[in-house]
Amino acid sequence: MLDSQEVQTLKNLIRDSFRIRENQDPVYVDLGGNLQRFSSAQHQVLFGRRGSGKSCLQVHFLRQAANNRDPLAIYIGVDEIKRLGFPDVLIRILLEVFQRLPGAKGKFFGLLKTPQSKIIKDLSVLLDNPEDADVSQKDSRGSEGGLDLAPAVGAPRIGLKASRGRETTTTFKSKKLDHLERHLQNYKSAIRTSIKGTWPTVFILLDDFYLIKKDLQPHVIDYLHRLLRGTDAYLKVGTIRHRTQLRVHEGQTIGVELGQDVEEISLDKTFEDFEGTNSYLHSMLSEMGNAGHVNMDVAGLFNSDAPRALTLASGGVPRDFLNIFVDAIDLSVRAGKRDRLTPTFIYKSAAQHSYKSKLANIQEEAGYDAEKLGRVYADLVAFCLKDKKKTAFLISIEDARQHPDQHELLQQLMDFKLLHVISQNTSAASGRQGRYVAYTLDFSIFMEPRRRGIEIVEFWKVDDQRRPIGVRESPDYPLARAADAAANADSSPVEEIVDSVEAELEVDVPETGAPD
């Protein structure tokens, strides 16, 4: 069954769905009504972890808009411009917008210049102008920063302060930002004129916004929101929640407020509602099966324990769910198991998409937080698997209030899919006071091969009081310990620490490879 042509077609369809290109329409399964909400005439921020479907939704919408010629959708991938500083990254975005609006080349084949074509020329010159700047940088333990505009002799002064652990001050002698501010109303007027009578609405899709340096993000989104506010053009930003800073306060508020200036859409499915996440992911897989073959029995490809194992191994992330599924079939067929998919091969597949590849993502994208994130993650693994012998842990809500920087690091580890939240508000057993947030380590780190001597916290099961089993009994991890781990520059590389913990655990490989 697993080596049938029908299954091969499904695997090919799934693999094709991972290739998100602006000029191609990806396979998109809309089970949550997100496409309809995304189509509304509202400024929106689309949140989701890597692999949650942000780019897939945006590009699918882009292709639909192109085919239907309504609305005009302009897609901008931040990955191509992420290395630019400020305000050059903003100028590049503005150029992309104006170059794709109607009338960009002027009238009569560009012979008659329009305000829009003049703006494009001015922005191009502005972008190419070198920054005549004095730059000073220092490290600090400041918790938040902002934009400070103060007059200086001959030019404005701009102070950019990065939140949590670093402060950068840059004095621009050029007038790039001043130019953008003075011409904002001209740009707004040009947008209105360009789309009037041609397009009822314009959507500007800004994908992977989190790749812009975090301390610059509020200033970029603040300008774009002010530019588009009151026009028929709407900003749609795709990003990762805890890699994103939408507001800063420094004398005045810079940025946007969720629920007030922009609407929030979340694509994340978590283990807080395990049954809901499990149902969503398998419904998505079933819909993809029907896209390849009418009435394909996708559920029949699994044995009784495998569907739950696939959801657990994926961390609730759609792309990981599909990746693990496809690779698990290949592993099973190569091993001669062609009947149905079992947890054994699901966890073997998950190990191939293990914490090491996720740690690589941290090194690529987390910037100056990367080393701290790696150290804290290694300490968490040692705490759970070596010290406490359990796969889940608790964080006191009061402790999180007292250690916001360390709590933020845990949130980022969750965004990188190394941790998964299982309860946002739980009590703790053994007389421990207060309320807690409960997390589990990613299953790829302890299920293949399965480790003896540790307790897998089976949070998807409930006791006679309808409480998740094992969650209240999980140990609480003190964030002061995370602070020490993050500051320990002499600690071993995270891979060495994790590998040393794994080496101390005995290995057990049961037939099913799944927790009971």
DSSP of 427-479: --STT--S-EEEEEE-GGGTBTTEETT-B---TTSB-TTSPBTTTTTSPBPPH
How many Cα atoms sit within 13 Å of 266 on the Cβ side? 8
Token output for 112:
């008659």
Q: How far is CA 324 from the centre of its chain?
A: 19
pLDDT of 174 reads: 58
Inter-CA distances, 117 with 104, 109, 190, 230, Å = 5, 12, 10, 22
The CA distance from 287 to 82, in Å, is 35
The kind and range of the H/E element at 268 are none
- CA angle (117, 123, 124) in 5-degree steps: 90
| Cα-Cα end-to-end distance for the chain | 26
Give the closest residue to 116 by CA, choosing from 105, 129, 128, 127. 105
Q: How far is CA 388 from the centre of its chain?
A: 30
Reply yes or no on domain 31-127+177-266 having CATH 3.40.50: yes
pLDDT of 293 reads: 66
Give the closest residue to 439 by CA, choosing from 485, 484, 376. 376
pLDDT of 106 reads: 59
Say if CB 421 and CB 272 are below 8 A apart: yes
Give the closest residue to 231 by CA, choosing from 63, 97, 414. 97
pLDDT of 450 reads: 65
Scored b (16 or more CB within 10 A) or e, 205-223 reads: bbbbbbbbbbbbbbbbbbb
- Render each residue's pLDDT in the chain as its tens digit; 516 residues: 898 989 998 998 888 877 777 767 777 888 888 999 999 999 999 999 988 999 999 999 998 888 887 789 999 999 999 999 899 999 999 999 999 998 776 554 555 577 888 899 999 999 998 765 544 444 444 444 443 433 333 334 434 444 444 454 444 445 799 999 999 999 999 999 999 888 889 999 999 999 999 999 999 999 999 999 999 999 999 999 999 999 998 788 999 999 999 999 999 999 999 999 999 999 999 988 887 666 788 999 999 999 999 999 999 999 999 999 999 999 999 999 999 999 999 999 998 766 677 777 777 776 668 888 988 998 999 899 889 999 999 999 999 999 999 999 999 999 999 999 999 999 999 989 999 999 999 998 888 666 668 899 999 998 888 888 999 999 999 999 999 999 987 777 667 776 777 677 655 554 444 565
What are the start-end ranges of the H helices in 69-156? 88-100, 115-128
Q: Which residue has the tokens 């947008």?
A: 191
Scored b (16 or more CB within 10 A) or e, 58-89 reads: bbbbbbebeeeeebbbbbbbbeebeebebbbb
% helix, strand, coil for the chain, step of 5:
45, 20, 35
Predicted TM-score of the model (pTM): 0.83
Token output for 265:
């859409």
Reply yes or no on domain 271-352 having CATH 1.20.120: no
The CA distance from 441 to 458, in Å, is 12
Beta bridge partners of 472: none
Domains in the chain: boundaries: 31-127+177-266, 271-352, 355-508
